[in-house]
Amino acid sequence: MEFLEIWLLFAFLLGALPFSVWVGKAVLGKDIRQFGDANPGATNVLRAGGKASGLLALLLDMLKGAIPVGIAHFRFDYSGWALILVALMPILGHAFSPFLSFRGGKAVAVTGGVWMGLTIWEGPTIGGLLMGLLVLWLPADGWVVLFAQVGMLGWLLLTPSAWNGLNARPAPFEILMIGIGSLLILAWKHRVDLSKLPHRKQKREAQ
């Protein structure tokens, strides 16, 4: 497809922009990597400065996934391996950002943005709901993220595409390959959490 190489580079570099770190410095005057788990992501912006700053960082991280993928999917009609590669580029860019010496974030928000670019509301809604439920039961964020992604992927593969209203979903093969690729990246970024078997929260942990 025309301009595929340029679009791949654009998607990677846009995904690599460390908005959460920049929001922390510009808005809060803090290095968010000194908070929480030291991850350069929206969660630590929330820890460092509150809900408004955290929400801003979250939206920016989602948009940098949604914009290049949504344009490629809806405007340029990318399909097959071209769409698969474009969809993975923002996630790789965020996870291994050259702007942060290739030590990027855990890529949860940008992955949600990518699925927004592919499915409009379905992916982010189903994935977000599953994460909201799973976090009540599991103490390790890594398992919450992976189980939510698997559940969302199952929904997209097993339910009719008419659910999204605009028939916007990519083909099942494209969904499957993007899902596998994003799961592998997320698993690597959450490998510390995943090194321990999942278990239910104890009452003291849930409080």
Q: Are 91 and 185 in contact (CB under 8 A)?
A: yes
pLDDT value at 2 more than 90: no
pLDDT of residue 161: 76
Could you tell me what percentage of the chain is helix, strand and coil, using 3-state DSSP and rounding each to the nearest 5?
A: 75, 0, 25
Longest Cα–Cα distance of the chain, Å, equals 56
Q: Is the pTM of this model over 0.95?
A: no
Distance CA 10, CA 83 (A): 14
- In tens, the pLDDT along 80-133 reads 999 999 999 999 999 999 999 999 999 999 999 999 999 999 999 999 999 999
- In tens, the pLDDT along 5-64 reads 999 999 999 999 999 999 999 999 999 999 888 889 998 999 898 789 999 999 999 999
- In tens, the pLDDT along 138-186 reads 887 899 999 999 999 999 999 987 666 666 789 999 999 999 999 999 9
- The DSSP annotation for 100-164 comes to GTT-----HHHHHHHHHHHHTTHHHHHHHHHHHHHTTT-S-HHHHHHHHHHHHHHHHHHS-GGGG
Residues constituting the chain? 207
pLDDT value at 204 more than 70: no
pLDDT of residue 201: 67
pLDDT of residue 124: 94
Q: Are 41 and 108 in contact (CB under 8 A)?
A: yes
